[in-house]
Chains A and B, each alone.
Chain A
């Protein structure tokens, strides 16, 4: 795998992190270091805490009432929970793509530059350049360049999801979180997104939650297997899938339970 030499191996540090939804504990003392400019896949059966972990990386879970956490998560050495960290500026550094494509009821153009708009940037040339760059990066430019000002709902499902990716990267974040980005897409659209992920990892650090084993093997460099809120195994994707150290991991990837 080609990794830029400057990449930090422990860019995101999850340090003894536990997380509770009210009475229910969803994550138990997870320790993992996610390297920069690589794709890290989180796999595991439903309810294992992988989405919870992902949504903690941009503090999306803060929106829910009655949550609390122990331990710490650091990005580039700074704790997310440091009182000086503003959640809004954190989310500008950590983009997110959701399971269901969710473009806004706006034009393609306005969808892409939404993050710039809310940041108060409105210089036309900058916005135009951002739209073109983000849509090209999301491999969507050629398909939509003639209808930038049409409603985003006119696009196909796969196009809408790529538009959401363009929207997430428009603000040039360092990290891109993807929560089952292909779950609502057909195989062809899925393939396109996977190609895109391989392309995007040169610019962003990507953490992806997936239920699809093949997807994890195809596009991730590292894989973490979570089970019942605990990190069971974490390592190079090849190693996890070909030579799992843990019986539960082996059981899951060979399809014995889901």
Chain B
């Protein structure tokens, strides 16, 4: 028998080198990254583009013998097979004017389109109600008289009317929500004082009369502003020839979509983005901004970290440093880890039962008994939502802190003890500072989880529309009992609960993008803090 001679050194087979497995792992990673990137890009593109002012097409659509004119922009292209099996190419057009047409969208068969043009006269008009309208301007009615479209004065007068409207709306808001709100709050106090009968009834009724008088004068002021507003208006004509008039009070913005150049459109996009970030929502949240939701999300997440950090760190210190390591501690640890796997809605139910009804009800009973049966704290609110999420994210912080503590080298602890430090001093002065970066990692993870959580919040404090923020300028300034808005819930509400889901679609993408941005920036802040601390408490290479 002859022993085969080896002619080269390359005798190891591909499978023995593990090459297929390397490829498989690489493919797994690629797949994951591609999915994440794809999702992010979709949200980025759809969310970002929803602010871009699009050109408006004027379509002539034949309907049997008549020709209908439709102005709008294409939002979707679909195919539909009718009963006879004929394939129809259809486009979905956003034509606005919901007050006239009932629906903001219209499906049009491509074959019925006779012609397409982009007349420069078409304007996108944003109103307080019924969403945008697409019209051509006819004239402006001002106190000084009528300004027809096309005249040299038109642009200036329009800008004036828009400004005037904005100023007036702000004034009305301060009067109606601010001043009249304050009066009605005081009236409630008065009623309570009258009921309790501890104060002089004569002084009370004098006060009541005073309040009533200032209430009436404020109402008069508001009515005057409204009357002045009604003197100006914008009148236009729609593509299909209907005449419309929008009073200055309801007019938000007029944008010449087809006439505007690139930079004007970019400016309008920025303008829309700032409005989206800064304004309150309107019309069942489908129009306007999401500021209260941003504020609610950030506040809730920060308050949650405020609660979860001390609890988690203290628990981890006891578990790792003081508790006698044995079966019991091991079981506690298993329970803590499993807590992270409990469905979040269960935490929501628990939060509702324990925090809202039990703790909140108790607080009401002991401290706000005079307002019962109207609950103060015994109702879902931002405090209870934060506490519920703190509970939900507690395991993350405990596990991260425990790991950070146990990563502190034994030598350093012994050195501290050998210097005459007690165990507590060693933990406080040596172990904890060295664990701070690890603990912060835990908090970052907890914040990421907490900020994106929606299901439990629906039970313990999130609402579709919160008229007031949890922090404002009305004493005592911080209102932990208030309900709040949340970006995650906003997405759910817009996408699935809104009366016109199609109209809300762009805003859903934009909100999703915003939620990602908020979570990422919260995390980035925490990471920056961690890196600074890491430098300060850098552990030696040993």
Interface residues of A (CB under 8 A from B): 58, 60, 63, 88-89, 91-92, 95-96, 98, 100-105, 114-115, 117-119, 151, 153, 160, 164, 167-168, 171
Contact = CB atoms under 8 A, between A and B. Distances in A.
Contacts of A104: 412, 415-416, 429-430
Nearest to A152: B540
B421 A118 contact: yes
A103 B409 CA distance: 11
Contacts of A96: 414-415, 418
A95 B429 contact: no
B425 to A, nearest CB: 5
A115 B415 contact: no
Contact of A153 (B416, B419, B434, B538): B538
Contact of A91 (B420, B430, B433): B420
Which residue, of B433, B540, B542, has the highest number of chain A Cβ atoms within 10 A? B540
Interface string B405-441: 0000101101111111110010001100110000000
Which 7 residue pairs across A and B have the least CB separation, nearest first? A96-B418, A115-B419, A102-B411, A92-B420, A118-B421, A91-B420, A102-B415
Contacts of B430: 104
Given A63-B417, A114-B419, 15 more contacts: A88-B422, A91-B418, A91-B420, A95-B418, A96-B414, A96-B415, A101-B542, A102-B542, A103-B540, A105-B433, A117-B429, A118-B421, A118-B429, A168-B418, A171-B420
Interface string B428-468: 01100110000000000000000000000000000000000
A58 B418 CA distance: 8
Nearest to A90: B420
12 contacts: A88-B422, A91-B419, A100-B542, A101-B542, A102-B409, A104-B416, A104-B429, A104-B430, A105-B433, A114-B421, A118-B425, A153-B538
Given A88-B420, A168-B419, A171-B420, A105 B411 contact: no
A58 B412 CA distance: 16
Contacts, number: 75
Contacts of A60: 414, 417-418
A118 B422 contact: yes
A66 to B, nearest CB: 12
Interface in B166-218: none
Give chain B's interface secondary structure class. helix
A207 B1 CA distance: 71
B128 interface: no
A118 B415 CA distance: 13
Contacts of A105: 433-434, 536-540
A1 to B, nearest CB: 28
A118 B420 contact: yes
A91 B212 CA distance: 77
A167 B414 CA distance: 13
Contacts of B419: 91, 95, 114-115, 118, 167-168, 171
A114 B539 CA distance: 17
A154 B323 CA distance: 36
A151 B429 contact: no
B484 to A, nearest CB: 40
Contacts of B411: 98, 100, 102
Contacts of B537: 105
Nearest to A99: B411
Contacts of A101: 542
Contacts of B539: 105
Nearest to B412: A102
Interface residues of B, number: 23
B229 to A, nearest CB: 65
Nearest to A92: B420
A59 to B, nearest CB: 10
A6 B362 CA distance: 73
A103 B419 CA distance: 12
Interface in B483-542: 536-540, 542
A98 B415 contact: yes
Contacts of B422: 88, 118
B420 A102 contact: no
Contacts of A117: 429
Given A102-B411, A164-B415, A115 B433 contact: no
A215 to B, nearest CB: 21
Nearest to A170: B419
A105 B418 CA distance: 16
Nearest to A103: B540
B304 to A, nearest CB: 29
Which residue, of B419, B421, B429, B433, has the highest number of chain A Cβ atoms within 10 A? B419
A63 B418 CA distance: 11
Nearest to B422: A88
Contacts of B540: 102-103, 105, 153, 160
Nearest to B542: A100
A208 B334 CA distance: 44
A48 to B, nearest CB: 21
A153 B419 CA distance: 19
B540 to A, nearest CB: 5
Contacts of A63: 414, 417
A119 B420 contact: yes
Contacts of B536: 105
A114 B538 contact: no
A98 B413 CA distance: 11
Contacts of B414: 60, 63, 96, 98, 102
A207 to B, nearest CB: 13
Nearest to A118: B421
Nearest to B409: A102
Contacts of B416: 104, 114, 118
Nearest to A93: B420
Nearest to B434: A105
A98 B409 CA distance: 13
A129 to B, nearest CB: 18
Nearest to B420: A92
A102 B433 CA distance: 15
A252 B540 CA distance: 35
Contacts of A91: 417-420
Contact of A167 (B415, B417, B538): B415
Nearest to A98: B411
A160 B411 CA distance: 14
B418 to A, nearest CB: 4
Contacts of B415: 96, 98, 102-104, 164, 167
Contacts of A102: 409, 411-412, 414-415, 540, 542
Contacts of A103: 415, 540
A100 B415 CA distance: 10
Which residue, of B420, B422, B430, B542, has the highest number of chain A Cβ atoms within 10 A? B420
A218 B430 CA distance: 36
B324 to A, nearest CB: 8
Nearest to A177: B418
Contacts of B542: 100-102
Contacts of B429: 104, 114, 117-118
Contacts of B417: 60, 63, 91
Contacts of B421: 88, 114-115, 118
